[in-house]
Structure 1
Amino acid sequence: MIPSQFVSRITLQRDKVADFGAYPFCLPVVRHLAQLDLHPRLTFFVGENGSGKSTLLEALAVSLGFNAEGGSRNFAFSTRASHSELHAFLRVAKGFRRPRTGYFLRAESFFNVATEIERMDAEPAFGPPIIDSYGGRSLHAQSHGESFMALLTERFRGDGLYILDEPEAALSPQRQLAALARIHELVQGGAQFVIATHSPLLISYPDAWIYQCGAAGLQRVRAEDTEHFQLTRDFLVNPDRFLRQLLD
């Protein structure tokens, strides 16, 4: 383990939890959580919808000072307070280095972040417009995929800490590969990523840890052992047979 990583471990303070039958502590990913080590460069959480991966990712982001709906630490807006209280029960171990920048991306609320940027830029300010850090073009004037790639290429920098929740939601397979290349470039520049995803393309990155969220909690696995990878592979090997079995 490289000690200079920004975030190295997440610990659930189990003695403070009053009821593991209540949400979000009833989720297997939380109920079985004690300590979780993070890769110094890239950690993935994978699992079915409702498995708790996004809840855990959100709690990590909020405990690190990010806005629950996304953005940098400078964003403090709230469209709807829907995040859980899990962040208050986490202890996050940090390295001696501090990130020069950081960002929390939630695919489902990135529209709200784009709106907040326009609101903030409409107010008098001494500095340059915030949108300049995103390429200078309104995120609302771009497709969802284009705006995310602008975030990745224009706003993200090396030596940053980036927490991404299902970034592939806006991206075609080709754009996912472009995003993976940019993530690699940022990792080479000292960045650290923690990503919740369904994408077998993203989790194929060779230097990463993958945690699968299931009934037994979090289990570290190889990309080719995840359900996402296996299902995609089986479909592509023989799509006609797969569809016949599925639709009969």
Structure 2
Amino acid sequence: MLSVKPYLRSLKLNPDMAIDYDAYPFSIPAVRELEQIEFHPEVTFLVGENGAGKSTLMEAMAIAWGFNAEGGTRNARFSTADAHSELHSYLRTVKSFKRPRNGYFLRAESFFNLATYEEELEEGAGRVHHSYGDKGLHRQSHGESFLALLQNKFQPDGFYMLDEPEAALSPNRQLTALAIIHKLAQDRCQFIIATHSPILLAYPHARIYLLDQSGLAETRYEDTEHYTTTRHFLNNPAAMLEQLFAEENEDD
């Protein structure tokens, strides 16, 4: 019997399209060197420094799937800035024979715009707030609204893309988010997550791709800078801070 998941099995750059590798976003090493990404049936992480191309790649994948560039479900129809790249049109995706029943693209940097869009829908047609626990997203704190989304909007049989979901979540709430993700992953859901959080990255058996100046490659959790830096800091914060401040003084 064929497996339903992963809904998104893999992607690569379309070799039949002419590409200017000196132009953005192909000038980003992780995009330029993109050969093929194989996604885990449950959870795949994208990690890397700021500017490594995580959000650019997430945005392109989301648009290729049919999501709004600024987030929401496939039915979301709003735009506050026409700033997304054309990378999505250069991607060749391999999908499951079965489409998921549910889906959502959570993009931390444009979540406020999405919440405003949802509020306008509520004023116009109603019956929107029930999808977020019967409370408007703007009537909750940033972190509460993120959790309300995970707890109420995300349903079984779903494909979910999360771009830096930890942005509004405390460490305890990140653990709560992990528990929700795990429950949904066991209920026929697939997640692709771009993150800086060593807590989220600890999800067992996930596939982790590192984006850096050399391109894009699979890595282990224990080999990520997120894990090693956090571990070194927590093991001896005083020594690490002393070294950091000394280096800053030398630079001055």
Residue of structure 2 in register with 1:51 after alignment? 52
CA contact (8 A) 2:222 2:228 kept: yes
Residue of structure 2 in register with 1:131 after alignment? 129
| Alignment partner of 2:151 out of 145, 150, 153 | 153
Residue of structure 2 in register with 1:94 after alignment? 95
Q: Whole-Å Cα distance in 1 between the matches of residues 12 and 19 of structure 2? A: 16
Q: Provide Cα deviations, 1:114-158, integer angstroms capped at 9, x if missing partner.
A: 100111121146xxx111111110111111100000000011011
Residue of structure 1 in register with 2:35 after alignment? 34
Q: Whole-Å Cα distance in 2 between the matches of residues 31 and 124 of structure 1? A: 44
Tell which deviates more after alignment, 162-171 or 92-101: 92-101
Q: Are residues 2 and 216 of structure 1, via their aligned partners in 2, closer, same or farther at CA, if it must alter by over 3 Å?
A: farther
Residue of structure 2 in register with 1:110 after alignment? 111
**Corresponding residue SS for 2:198:** coil
Tell which deviates more after alignment, 187-196 or 211-220: 211-220
Q: Provide Cα deviations, 1:33-75, integer angstroms capped at 9, x if missing partner.
A: 1111111110000000000011001100000100000000110
TM score, norm. by length of structure 1: 0.96
Q: Whole-Å Cα distance in 1 between the matches of residues 125 and 77 of structure 2? A: 18
Q: How many positions carry a matched residue from both structures?
A: 245
Task: Quote how far apart the aligned CAs of 1:2 are.
Answer: 4.9
Task: Quote how far apart the aligned CAs of 1:3 are.
Answer: 5.7
Q: Which amino acid aligns with 1:24?
A: P
Residue of structure 1 in register with 2:243 after alignment? 245
- For structure 1, list consecutive stretches of 5 or more residues without a partner in the other structure: none
CA contact (8 A) 2:5 2:190 kept: no
CA contact (8 A) 2:43 2:206 kept: yes
Pair 1:199-2:200 in alignment: no
Task: Quote how far apart the aligned CAs of 1:213 are.
Answer: 0.5
Task: Quote how far apart the aligned CAs of 1:216 are.
Answer: 1.5
Give every structure 1 segment of 4 or more consecutive aligned residues whose post-TM-superposition deviation is greater than 3 Å.
1-4
1:142-221 matches, cutoff 5 A: 142-221=140-219
Identity of aligned residues (%): 56
Task: Quote how far apart the aligned CAs of 1:205 are.
Answer: 0.6
Q: Whole-Å Cα distance in 2 between the matches of residues 56 and 65 of structure 1? A: 14
- For structure 2, list consecutive stretches of 5 or more residues without a partner in the other structure: 247-252
Q: CA RMSD, aligned part only?
A: 1.2
1:47-86 matches, cutoff 5 A: 47-86=48-87
Q: Whole-Å Cα distance in 1 between the matches of residues 35 and 129 of structure 2? A: 40
CA contact (8 A) 1:17 1:89 kept: no
